[in-house]
Structure 1
């Protein structure tokens, strides 16, 4: 069962900038208090997602709502899991690739709805909410490669682990029935039959996003 943190102080802090640490932790959709501090809206679906005692049926409706953002749906699933409600489906909603470098942490997050976030080791952030045909193709490829991993491993049954150290890479998969992840030396996982395609697809997506931003 994926555990949802209920303390705003229980966050992982890989960056010097507190604002980037918040963006980083929001990617994982597992800290309700962070979303409460970030979102002031009382409209649907936030009225359900941020409720102190959300109705499970309402959460299931949010999770199944195809019009919503992937992170909203993942937050709904995580709140259900935290309440002990089993999720029988296995829907991949997000892929997060973290690479530990000598001078910081690179993080690429891609979501099923085509949105992406990239935080680099120099503490710059790229927010991608404008989808293009090519970005959608690159995200779709990353998800196709990631599903191959998710289908062969199981969900993590403890709280989320910290970010990888220098020379390491961590692959996190946000799935409806829990958080899945794998971690190891970058040089090893890049040549791994399961992890390699995910890393290489992530590199292609990251390069495209950076190029598009530099052209603006």
Structure 2
């Protein structure tokens, strides 16, 4: 599926990374995928021990665990573990972008370049299983990824992986031809393609 998207690239992009879509609502949804903006989620003066427990609870939603870890780091505490709990794949297309987010708990979020969105809360089973496979495939690539937060969305002919970790998000991006030759990034792309195929198939079945 991603291979089909790359065939449509034609122009360079200087779209801001935090606002790749044409509406505020979609940009808000997009921003939430990265689970790095805590806001007032834990109140004004939370107990660090409680937040630490949330961060390490495998039964808690992955994005909530990531937000808990983000609060711990921002407050001078070190999360007890640095698990990779999600992957966001961004592919620019026709002046917009396809964004696919998968989480370790099997949840999936998808924003189509047309603005349509899809949400999977750990079901169907094949979508959830593939989401988990995608996150697992990202662990080796995460280790070598950059900690630098990008200013712009990926440009024409490129794609970006953002690995969501309790140790902080990391990024790998580049041209498609480079990604497929990268022994760490290529498995992430392949697993992402499989997940996107399942997500699109579900949408067509509705």
Give your verdict on TM over 0.5.
yes
Distance 1:141 1:66 in 2: 17
**Kindly tell me: are residues 132 and 112 of structure 1, through their superposed partners in 2, closer, same or farther at Cα, counting changes over 3 Å?**
same
C-alpha deviations, 1:124-147, integer Å up to 9, x for none?
A: 111111513322331232122111
Write the deviation string for residues 132-167 of structure 1: whole angstroms up to 9, x where unpaired: 3322331232122111212x32661x5554421221
Moved more, 126-135 or 176-185: 126-135
Q: What root-mean-square deviation, in Å, do the aligned CA atoms of Structure 1 and Structure 2 show? A: 1.9
Other-structure match for 1:7:
none
Match of 2:18 in 1: 12
Question: Given the alignment of the two structures, is residue 213 of structure 1 paired with residue 186 of structure 2, yes or no?
Answer: no
Matches within 5 A, 1:24-103: 24-33=30-39, 49-103=41-95
Question: Gaps spanning 5+ residues in structure 1: where?
Answer: 1-10, 37-48
Report if aligned partners of 2:88, 2:163 keep a CA contact under 8 Å in 1: yes
Structure 2 contact 91–158 (Cα < 8 Å) conserved: yes
The CA distance in 2 between the partners of 1:50 and 1:131, in whole Å, is 28
- Using structure 2 for the length normalisation, give the TM-score: 0.84
Q: Deviations over 1:95-116 (max 9, x none)?
A: 1001122331111000111110
Aligned equivalent of 1:153: 144
